[in-house]
Structures are given as C-alpha cells and as structure tokens.
Amino acid sequence: MRLVFAGTPEVAVPALDALIDSGRHEVVAVVTRPDAPAGRGRRLVASPVAERAMEAGIEVLKPARPREPEFLDRLREIGPDCCPVVAYGALLPKVALDVPARGWVNLHFSLLPAWRGAAPVQHSIMAGDEITGASTFLIEEGLDSGPVYGTVTEEVRATDTSGDLLTRLAFAGAGLLAATMDGIEDGTLDAVPQPAEGISLAPKITVEDARVEWRAPALRVDRVVRGCTPAPGAWTTFRGERLKLIQVTPLPDRNGLAPGQLAVGKNNVYVGTGSYAVELLWVQAQGKKPMRAADWARGVRGADGETLGL
C-alpha cells in the first residue's frame, strides 16, 4: 500500500522504521507537528519523526492544523491507501479521515478499551497494572474508540518508569503496526468493535498530578514517581523549593516516620508515607543536576527530621 505516516515524538520512530523497512509498503509522505522551540536558545527544531523522514528522503508535511486546505489538498494529491499513526499529537478532522480509502490506523499504547487518551502508559503504571500492551485500531471521531485490528501484551515490571515501558512498547508496537498494514492490504484482518465494558481514561498528566502526596501509601508514592518519570517529573517541596523525585524504593520493613518526615543516614535517605517508608535514591533540586539523594542531603545539611511537602 501507499502509506502516509503521521507521528511526532521519538517513540514513533521505531514504527516509521518498521514500515520503511517492510519491503511491502511504500511510505510516500510523513505528517508531523510543526518545528518547536527547544534547548536553551529556544531555536526551532524539527520533530524526531521529521528528522528520520528527511534522512530517508521522504516528503514531510507540517500543518499547524490538519484541517488546513493546503494540507488536505496535498494529502488528496498523494492519494494514500492507508495512514498509520503513532503519537501524532493533533486531532484529525473527519475531512482528513475520509481521504485514504482504508482509513487512518492508530498504534495506541494500551490494551483498548483500557486507558483511552493521551497518557496511557503513565496511567497504567500509576494504577498498578501488572499487564499492559499496545493496540492498533481504525480511527473514528471518538476518543480512541474505533474498532481494534490487533494487540500485543507487555508485562509491567516492578521498577518500570513510564519511559522504560514506553520504549519497550514502541518497539513491540512497531511490529504490530507493520503486521496490521500487511493484514489490511491482503484482506486477512478485520477490525473488531471495542467492548462497552472496561473503558478507562488516561488524560494528560499535569504538573499538579505529579505532586507526591506523602499521606498516600508507599506503593502509591512509588507508582507516581515511576509513572511521572521522565515526564512531567514527580516532585515535592523542601524548604519552600521544588524537589524533583527521580527514583524511590518502598521499604516494607521500615516504619516509625510520619508522612513526609525525613530520616538521613550516612548513605541513605528515608521518607515516611501513609504506610511504611520509602528510600529516596535519586533527586533533583531546583537549578541542579540529578544526584544521589544521599549527596543531596549532605549538601543541604540538617535535613534529618525535617518534612517534605509542607
């Protein structure tokens, strides 16, 4: 098939590579978000998908909105059979959905209908799921509600951050998306409507969502930290300034600390929660680089007995 691939961040690149390398389909163009400011100089930078497409000599389309007449006219000129999508980042209007004969097929990083929305991996970790996965489905106007072509499953490991899990799903999902294109092309794959039960939503994680509540149980604290790493980054406050929490570990055998209370040893830093303590392993103070929590505690001096989150 002639494909127009839509995607933007690094997590979409493995799927684009899988389609370029498939030998069966032709990626004739890529649709991605416009260049965005990045780095200290805030200079405009092309998306990872745009950069990969340019390396491969593929036409890149960067509409500010996918309903722009110029974009729609070019899409019709290209005449794709199907448009695979991975984390494109913009809502596709019906007028665009109607262009390819076989529709737009999204690779979504959850087992639909669970975790429909922008942040399925983060919500899966924060909810304590033991199994998650990726799904390919035919895009319709509803939020991630279209019929499903296929799925792959992935175990959520006890120490997974959302970055760890998303990386694995990106590569597993790339193979699923390529296989879905094959099945659509040869007519062996039919999309199955999603069940009405088991629907859960995964809206974008806000900075406030990423604030750690120390009165919560230790397992919840650990899940929030892992689910919000690397973005938007779990955080608390210390002496009135924000402290980013990069890695913690629950300690079921350590009790006796009030929620948020610090206990500083020579090489360890513990914090009380609503159940048992967690150990702080890696943190990042405002204006500083990430560092081991023990080094941070030595630098601030006198943290023993103080409370985080006030």
- Residue pLDDT, tens place only, 258-280: 999 999 998 999 999 999 999 99
In the prediction, which pLDDT does 39 show?
Answer: 78
Domain 207-307 has CATH 3.10.25.10: yes
> Residue 310 pLDDT more than 80?
no
* Residue 69 binned pLDDT confidence (cut-offs 50, 70, 90): very high
In the prediction, which pLDDT does 40 show?
Answer: 77
Give CATH for domain 2-186: 3.40.50.170
Go through 175-210 and write b for each residue having 16 or more CB atoms within 10 A of its CB, e for each that does not.
ebbbbbbebbbeeebebeebeeeeebebeebeeebb
Q: What is the largest CA-CA distance in the chain?
A: 68
In the prediction, which pLDDT does 130 show?
Answer: 97
In the prediction, which pLDDT does 284 show?
Answer: 98
pLDDT above 90: percentage of residues in the chain: 95
**What's the whole-number mean pLDDT along residues 97-118?**
98
In the prediction, which pLDDT does 167 show?
Answer: 97
**What's the whole-number mean pLDDT along residues 195-207?**
96
Tokens encoding 103: 């529709």
Contact 257, 263 (CB under 8 A): yes
Q: How many CA atoms lie within 13 A of 44 on its CB side?
A: 4
Chain mean pLDDT for the chain: 96
Q: Looking at the chain, which runs of residues are DSSP E strands?
A: 2-7, 26-31, 36-38, 43-45, 59-61, 83-86, 104-108, 131-138, 148-155, 234-238, 241-251, 262-264, 269-271, 277-285, 291-292
pLDDT above 70: percentage of residues in the chain: 100
- Residue pLDDT, tens place only, 111-167: 999 999 999 999 999 999 999 999 999 999 889 999 999 999 999 999 999 999 999
Q: 112 a known binding residue? A: yes
> Residue 41 pLDDT more than 90?
no
Beta bridge partners of 26: 2
- More confident of the two residues 68 and 37: 68
Q: How many CA atoms lie within 13 A of 47 on its CB side?
A: 24
Contact 276, 252 (CB under 8 A): yes
Q: How many CA atoms lie within 13 A of 296 on its CB side?
A: 23
> Residue 238 pLDDT more than 80?
yes
List every span in the chain annotated with CATH 3.40.50.170: 2-186
Q: 113 a known binding residue? A: yes
In the prediction, which pLDDT does 42 show?
Answer: 83
List every span in the chain annotated with CATH 3.10.25.10: 207-307
pTM above 0.85, yes or no: yes
